Amino acid sequence: MDTIGQRVYARRKELKLTQTTVAAMIGVSSASLTYWERDEIEPKNKNLAALARALECAPDYLLHGATSGKQGSVASVHSRVPLINWDAVLESGAAEEREAEDWLYYPKQCGSKTFALTVSNDSMVSPYPSNKSYPTGTIIFVDPDLPIKAGSRVIAQVGNAAQVTFKEYREDGGNSYLMPINSQYPTTIVDEDTVLIGTVIGSFMTE
């Protein structure tokens, strides 16, 4: 079975790129690329994402070789999602360029900017067992490329808050609101200082 290093080497040769060129595209030394291709060190997080972009392939392909390396394979390009800290949501740059706490797989096609967060409070917990809830520890997947509509669960920045919030987007009487599922938390009106960052497209809770 091919190793990560062998796939990096083969894909680089297929694109007719030198180690120096690829290293410059990523922002690492040529020696780092040599270590990766020899399987002495495995590229991680930002370097893995940058390497995949430089080699025009999916991170999944470099790690596992199970899918086509070509960018045309949308599902393989977008199935691996960075789990990031809430403080990192407001950082500039693509999701895969932020410091990832882990990498997760989303089972359906999603946008290239999709990222995951771990719910840290009970504001989106319903008092009714039959209703959808997001208890502390739930992992939510957020796609910034999807349009936000009434009823969407969203990630938003309210005013100049240093951290974002997870709420349901509602429209009523010409106004828009960010509403918690848990009524013990306040509802916030969406105004010109509110930034709607992305739509929650799925969630996962470990047993």
Residue boundaries of the structural domains of the chain: 1-73, 79-207
Report pLDDT digits (tens) over 2-12: 899 999 999 89
pLDDT reported for residue 47? 87
Please provide the CATH number assigned to the domain covering 79-207.
2.10.109.10
**Does the pTM exceed 0.75?**
no
Q: How far apart are CA 65 and CA 34, in angstroms?
A: 19
Handedness of CA 114, 120, 124, 125 (dihedral sign): positive
Residue indicated by tokens 């969406």: 190
Q: How far apart are CA 66 and CA 135, in angstroms?
A: 34
Q: Regarding predicted confidence, which is higher, 85 or 98?
A: 85
Report pLDDT digits (tens) over 114-158: 899 999 999 999 999 889 999 999 999 999 999 999 999 999 999
What is the average per-residue pLDDT within 176-182?
97
What is the average per-residue pLDDT within 91-99?
59
Residue 14 has pLDDT above 80, yes or no: yes
Residue 196 has pLDDT above 90, yes or no: yes
* Nearest alpha-carbon partner for 52 in 25, 34, 75: 25
Residue 110 has pLDDT above 90, yes or no: no
pLDDT reported for residue 69? 41
Residue 203 has pLDDT above 90, yes or no: yes
pLDDT reported for residue 148? 94
Tokens linked to 183: 């009524």
Residue pair 95/84 in contact by the 8 Å Cβ criterion: yes
Least confident among 43-47, 153-157, 173-177, 198-202: 43-47
Q: Write out the CATH class of domain 1-73.
A: mainly alpha
Report pLDDT digits (tens) over 22-71: 999 888 999 999 999 999 998 888 888 889 888 888 787 888 875 544 44
Q: Regarding predicted confidence, which is higher, 176 or 44?
A: 176
Q: Regarding predicted confidence, which is higher, 1 or 62?
A: 62
Residue 95 has pLDDT above 70, yes or no: no
